[in-house]
Amino acid sequence: MERAGLLYCYNHEEPWKLSALNRERRWACRYHHRLGPGAPCLQIADHILTPPLTRESLACLDLTPHAKAVLEKLKSEVSQHSLEETQRRRREAELKAHIANLERYLGSGDPEREETYWRLIREAKAQLDLMRQKPPTPRATPLDLERVAHFLENIGCEWDRYPSRLRNRLLKLLVDRVELRHDTSRIEATIVWKVGFRQVLRIKRPPTNYSREKLWRQDEDSLLRMLWPSSSPEAIMAAFPRRTWTAVNLRASRLKINREWVRVGFQKGRRWTNEEKVKLKELYCREANVDDIARELQRSRATITSMAHIMGLSSPKELRYRKREPVCESLNIKLFQESSSPN
């Protein structure tokens, strides 16, 4: 995937490189896996992380003003390589002729001359072998130079057309690393370029019910076994600030942990009117966000989904499976203002 080997998680004392799960199109920080089985520190879909980073990088990667200078330098390098290749071939032919000339003098019967001829032949062959071991000079045609110019001038609009391996090679030449600092709702990404420039981007993560970061770790299970039987709900929720009471209750049920039974009063909700049901049907089949529907009808999210299930309602297919796009905020303008302000 794009940026493989450049992403690092900075939520730890030492930076930890993110793993690219290519089959799942996801990124994962497996820092805690060395401590034992459990949830990863970060596991996020590629479509949430990569597109914002790409847009921010390409905004700073406008190579059009430099395309002409780069092309002229490439032309001079190609001419220099061509001259060096001509000189190499000429020197190789001279050495071959020199070796053939020395071999004709062999068999004179004079031991001293024979030794001198063999020494000169060995030296010439060593020089010839050394020249042959050098890598061949790359050849470039006018068509290659034209492709380079087209690449530099249209890198932004044609970025997605290039294979990910080529994009990664270019990014690794220009970018040193991408630092990620995150929590369950937000990611702060810092793109560190090799020239020293830093771009800061805040990505608001869309809510999801299938995040693998929500998996329970072994130490959390141990703490739940200790607190669940007799501790108050306030103490339990203080121990698990990232969990809801429903999630904690469900986990305790799966672990088969019993809790002292306390009678809780049941408060019946208000009945659904026919007008509300008609409104729910209209909104549920049209809107994609259940929170907006709950806000419109002044009911909870669970009540909305439960009544929609009872009524047999379902969202359109394109809304049910549409990927939620992240919300991004670039901080580079603020950094520019701070760096340009007088001390």
The candidate with the shortest Cα–Cα distance to 259, out of 268, 267, 250, is 250
DSSP assigned state of 275:
H
Mean pLDDT score, 102-116: 80
Residue 208 binned pLDDT confidence (cut-offs 50, 70, 90): low
pLDDT at 335: 46
Is residue 155 scored above 80 in pLDDT?
Answer: no
335 found inside a domain: no
Q: Do residues 254 and 280 both lie within one domain?
A: no
Residue 277: in which H helix or E strand, if any? helix 274-284
Q: What is the pLDDT of residues 224-265, one digit of tens each?
A: 899 888 888 888 888 887 788 888 888 888 888 888 765 544
342 found inside a domain: no
Pairing of strands 175-182, 7-9: parallel
Q: Do residues 135 and 104 both lie within one domain?
A: yes
Is residue 185 scored above 70 in pLDDT?
Answer: yes
Alpha-carbon distance 246 to 225, whole Å? 16
Give the residue numbers spanning the domain of 136.
Answer: 66-142
pTM for this one? Answer: 0.49
Rg (CA), the chain: 34
Pairing of strands 7-9, 16-17: antiparallel
Question: Are 9 and 27 within 8 A, CB to CB?
Answer: no
340 found inside a domain: no
- Cα 252 to Cα 47, 244, 265: the distances in Å are 34, 12, 22
pLDDT at 178: 92
Is residue 324 scored above 70 in pLDDT?
Answer: no
Here the tokens at position 75 are: 């032309």
What is the SS3 assignment for 252? helix
Alpha-carbon distance 117 to 108, whole Å? 10
Q: What share of the chain is helix, strand, coil (3-state, %, to 5)?
A: 55, 15, 35
CA 138 to chain centre: 32
284 found inside a domain: yes
Alpha-carbon distance 66 to 193, whole Å? 18
Residue 236: other Cβ atoms inside 10 A: 19
Mean pLDDT score, 3-13: 89
Residue 8 binned pLDDT confidence (cut-offs 50, 70, 90): very high
Alpha-carbon distance 224 to 226, whole Å? 5
Average pLDDT, the chain: 77
Q: Do residues 170 and 24 both lie within one domain?
A: yes
DSSP state letters, 44-81: EEHHHHHHHHHHHHHHH---HHHHHHHHHHHHHHHHHH
Is residue 279 scored above 90 in pLDDT?
Answer: no
Here the tokens at position 294 are: 């709950």
pLDDT at 266: 45
336 found inside a domain: no
Q: Do residues 171 and 55 both lie within one domain?
A: yes
Question: Are 335 and 198 within 8 A, CB to CB?
Answer: yes
Residue 10 binned pLDDT confidence (cut-offs 50, 70, 90): very high
pLDDT at 7: 93
12 found inside a domain: yes
Q: Do residues 101 and 115 both lie within one domain?
A: yes
Alpha-carbon distance 226 to 257, whole Å? 10
Q: Do residues 40 and 173 both lie within one domain?
A: yes
Here the tokens at position 245 are: 């009471």
Q: Do residues 49 and 19 both lie within one domain?
A: yes
CATH code of the domain containing 290: 1.10.10
Work out the percent of the chain whose per-residue pLDDT is above 90.
Answer: 4
Is residue 158 scored above 70 in pLDDT?
Answer: yes
Alpha-carbon distance 25 to 44, whole Å? 9
Q: What is the pLDDT of residues 68-92, one digit of tens each?
A: 665 566 666 666 677 777 888 888 8
**Selected residue with higher pLDDT from 45 and 319:** 45
328 found inside a domain: no
**Selected residue with higher pLDDT from 209 and 176:** 176
Number of domains in the chain: 4
